[in-house]
Each structure stands twice: as C-alpha cells, then as structure tokens.
Amino acid sequence: VSDGDSELDLHAADITFHKPQRPDLVVYPSSTDEVSRVMAIASERRVPVTPFGAGSSLEGHVIPTSGGISLDLSRLDRIVEIALDDLSATVQAGVTRLALERAAGEHGLFFPVDPGADATLGGMAATNAAGTTTIRYGKMRANVLGLEAVLADGSIVRTGGRARKSSAGYDLTSLLVGSEGTLAVITEVRVRLYGIPEHVVAQRISFPTLEAACRTAAAVVAAGSAVSRLELLDAWTLAAINAYRGTDYHEGPCLLVEAAGTEATVEADLELVRELAEADGATEIVDERDPTARARLWAARHDATYAAAAASPGRSERATDTCVPVSELAGAVAFARAELERLGLDGAILGHAGDGNVHVSLQLDPDDPAELALADEFVQRLIADALARGGTCTGEHGIGLGKIAALELEHGDLVPLMRGIKDVFDPLGIMNPGKVFTPREER
Ligand SMILES: Cc1cc2nc3c(=O)[nH]c(=O)nc-3n(C[C@H](O)[C@H](O)[C@H](O)COP(=O)(O)OP(=O)(O)OC[C@H]3O[C@@H](n4cnc5c(N)ncnc54)[C@H](O)[C@@H]3O)c2cc1C
C-alpha cells in the first residue's frame, strides 16, 4: 500500500490529454484473496476503487476521478497454466501480453490479441481490446473462455470453464469483458491459444492516396481473403516511425498486410491482395519474407503511438477510435481528412483497415483551451459521421471518460439497461465511478 507522491502520480493519469487526478492510495494486491479483502473493506467504507493494469488505455479509464483506491493488479503476474491439449492458457490478471507471448511461444503457440502497448491480460479483457490480428482471430471477447473475478462486496466468482463453448445461462464472461472495471475486478483470465503458423509473409503496399489504400482493404475483405493483418498508415505516421525506429519505409499512404498458413495458402492470399492493390493504383509492393524484417515491421507498427508522441514533444495525444463497415472505410477516412483541413488541425490517420477501424491521432497542447475545443469538435464530427455510416463511436478503446456522451448518442435507449446491470453488480457505485456513465449524483 502506498500514498507516496510518485506512486499517486503514476496512477493519476494515462498517456493522453485527459486531466490527471490522484487516488488517495495505491494498493498492490498479490493474490485473489487480497483483492477480495480490499474490496470487502472498500465496500464496507464506501471507498471508490479503480482497477489498474498497465495504465495504457486511452480514454481516461484509469483516472480515479473520485479519488479512493487505485488497485494495481501488476503483482498478479503468474501464468497459472498452459493447457497444450486444450490450446488454452490461464493467467493472472497482471500478466502482460508479451509475457504470455514468450510463455506460449516455448510451446509453438501464440495468443493473437496485440494492442500496441504491453497491456495486461486483465486490462485487455476489461476493455475488450483488439489489435492487428483481429481481422482473423477476433477481439478479446472472442478469445476469453472464462474469468475469475472479485465482486464489489469482495465475493469471488468464476465464469465460463475449460470447455471451448457453453450455453449455460447468461454469458457473464462476455459481460465482464469490456466492463472497464465498473462491474468487478478480474483476477484471472482463461484464453484461447493458437498454433504458430508454419509460413508467414508480410507485405508493404504504397498507394497514391489513403482512400485508394482503404478501397483495397475493403476489396480484400469482400473477397473473403484469410489475411491475418491488414493495417492502414498515412505518410505522417510513417515519417514519425522512421524517425523513432531508424527504419526507411516509404513515407506515403500504405497498407501493411500479413498472410499466414501453409506456403500455398499464403502465396494465394498475397497474390489476391497484389491484384486488388494494383487495380487501385498501388505504387510499390514489397514482400517481407525474412522473419527479422517482418518482426521489425510489426514492432514499428506497434510503436506508431509512441513514434507520434516522440515527433510531437510537449504535446499530448487525443486518439480517436471510430469503426465503420469496411465498405464505408474510404468515405470515413476522406471525411476525417477533410475535417482536419477545415479545422486546421494536425493529425495522423491510421487504423486497423481490415476491421474498418479508423484512428486519428491528434497531438495537442493540453493547456490550450482553443485547440482542445477544436479537437473536441473534430471528434464529435467523426463520431456523428461513423454513426451515420452504420458504425460505432469506438471499435476497441472503449468509453472511459472520453466517450460517455458518445455512448448516449449511439445507444441512448440501452444506457438505462446498462445502468441497471451496473446497479446489480455494484449497488454502492464504488467500482471505477464516473466511467462509461456519468456518476449517479451528477445525473
Ligand atoms: C501505444 C498504444 C497502442 C494501443 N493500441 C491498441 C490497439 O491496437 N487496440 C486496442 O484495443 N487498444 C490499444 N491501446 C489501448 C490499450 O493498450 C488497451 O485498452 C489495453 O487493453 C489496456 O490494458 P491495460 O492493462 O493497460 O489496462 P489499463 O489501462 O490499466 O485499464 C483499462 C481499463 O480496464 C480496467 N481494468 C484494468 N485491469 C483490470 C482488471 N484486472 N479487472 C477489472 N478491470 C480492470 C481499468 O479500471 C480501466 O477501466 C493502445 C494503447 C497504447 C498506449
């Protein structure tokens, strides 16, 4: 337990423009039982509790806006089991995705969900995270088989099981996945693992415009291709990556593609992508066949956010995260570019193109109210556009503090049902208050 200044500051903020606010105390439990005891005491004394994984979420999720306890799960870092015959792993909530990757890799297996940060599995479950391989393997919800969780009153529950599927009652595993620390503290996660494919090739494809890249991405998806990654980057992001990592990738709009499987399926997948890209005017297609070059490429992609931050010293990021049907991707990206220009804002456009997931990374002066207001207008316009296209206000980052109004806009009719669920799990309102919904007293 700590109330030292640096510990409080570390748990007061994320890496974005959201205003920091300290907890009163940081608590580092080392076991599920300790989590249970903390929650029982917090419940008895009505102390707010904000679970904290790696603190890499991007919408103010971990900022303890009502003070209280920041419950840091990083000491729950044990890989409990790798079940080779069942292709699953059970890990404590504080295990990070790279730690799981190393452990599973020793057995020729991997866990596919890969947000850019080295997030914890508990945090990834709590935000229903996605990554570059979602186009093939799905998000966290598709990959979590079961959970152990501690409820607000300290009781310990287990959802799901070892079986690969179940129809036993309401699916509380899926409900807790994506609940952003507002319903329960996740202490253990059981996930699916997959065999590392025998043959993998990545491809870098440059285009004259971002919209052409988007059209190709949509065509690849519509063709039913089994590519395992399909990512969009703009020239600004590639320049930032080159400067940050010392690479020399072409600095223009591009798609990064990966195909994985047998040699024959990989070559067929890549040939299809090549044909579709050429039809959209691709200017350069480079295959990355060497495993080191491929690993460098994906490490560079994962570092895009950090590269953007390094290119913008003294500024804070506001990351947007709308998601549209892939057929609408080119239109959504064109709209984002036009709005950036109209408002005079600098922003990098990138995304998980195969999922229709658009990110615009704005680098802002957090002390300039006029710039913050323009960024706010931009994000609202982007959300309205995504909804008009049949999309959503967030494809993967979640609601946190930053998208509360957007959730009302998208699902206003469902918010009362969601609040009802929250009340069942957390009748005293101590679980990460002020996230997903406005707090009860402010309604
Ligand atoms: C460089 C970079 C790239 C990123 N790329 C992606 C991406 O591609 N896809 C994507 O989806 N996200 C991405 N993110 C966002 C972030 O990594 C994810 O949201 C991640 O899942 C957060 O995990 P965490 O361990 O950092 O959780 P935290 O940020 O610590 O917490 C996130 C939320 O979950 C709750 N929480 C944390 N642990 C628990 C627990 N054990 N039980 C209950 N609630 C808990 C917290 O209270 C909070 O509400 C990126 C972030 C960065 C910095």
E strands, 234-354, are 254-261, 284-288, 316-319, 322-323, 347-352
CA–chain centroid gap for 91, Å, is: 19
Say yes or no: CB of residue 94 within 6 Å of ligand 1: no
pTM of full prediction above 0.95: yes
**Predicted local confidence at residue 9, as pLDDT:** 98
3-state secondary structure labels for all residues of 287-301? EECCHHHHHHHHHHH
Report how far ligand 1's centroid is from the alpha carbon of 222 (Å): 30
Q: What is the mean pLDDT of residues 232-254?
A: 95
Q: Which atom of ligand 1 is nearest to the CA of 131?
A: 8
Residue 256 is encoded by which pair of tokens?
Answer: 């990064």
Residue 272 is encoded by which pair of tokens?
Answer: 């299809």
Per residue in 387-416, pLDDT (tens digit) is 999 999 999 999 999 999 999 999 999 999
**Predicted local confidence at residue 162, as pLDDT:** 87
Report how far ligand 1's centroid is from the alpha carbon of 116 (Å): 10
**442 pLDDT higher than 90:** no
Q: Which atom of ligand 1 is nearest to the CA of 125?
A: 21
Say yes or no: CB of residue 73 within 6 Å of ligand 1: yes
Distance (Å, whole) CA 176 – CA 338 = 38
**Predicted local confidence at residue 329, as pLDDT:** 97
Per residue in 127-186, pLDDT (tens digit) is 999 999 999 999 999 999 999 999 999 999 999 988 999 999 999 999 999 999 999 999
**84 pLDDT higher than 90:** yes
Return the higher-pLDDT residue of 17 and 176: 176
Do the beta carbons of residue 342 and residue 353 sit within 8 Å?
A: no
**440 pLDDT higher than 90:** no
**10 pLDDT higher than 60:** yes
Buried b (16+ CB within 10 A) or exposed e, 229-251: bbbbbbbbbbbbbbebbeeebeb
Percent of the chain with pLDDT over 70: 99
Say yes or no: CB of residue 52 within 6 Å of ligand 1: yes
Pocket test for ligand 1, best of 34, 57, 229 (most atoms within 8 A of CB): 57
**248 pLDDT higher than 60:** yes
185 forms beta bridges with 150
For ligand 1, atom 15: residue with the closest CA: 57
Report how far ligand 1's centroid is from the alpha carbon of 54 (Å): 7
Per residue in 278-336, pLDDT (tens digit) is 999 999 999 999 999 999 999 999 999 899 989 999 898 898 999 999 999 999 999 99
| Closest by CA position to 254, among listed 238, 276, 274 | 238
Q: Which atom of ligand 1 is nearest to the CA of 396?
A: 11
Report how far ligand 1's centroid is from the alpha carbon of 305 (Å): 14
Could you tell me where the DSSP H helices lie in 23-164? 32-45, 97-105, 121-127, 134-137, 140-143
Least confident range of 24-33, 48-57, 63-72, 309-318: 309-318
For ligand 1, atom 37: residue with the closest CA: 123
Cβ neighbours around 79 below 10 Å, total:
16
**Predicted local confidence at residue 366, as pLDDT:** 87
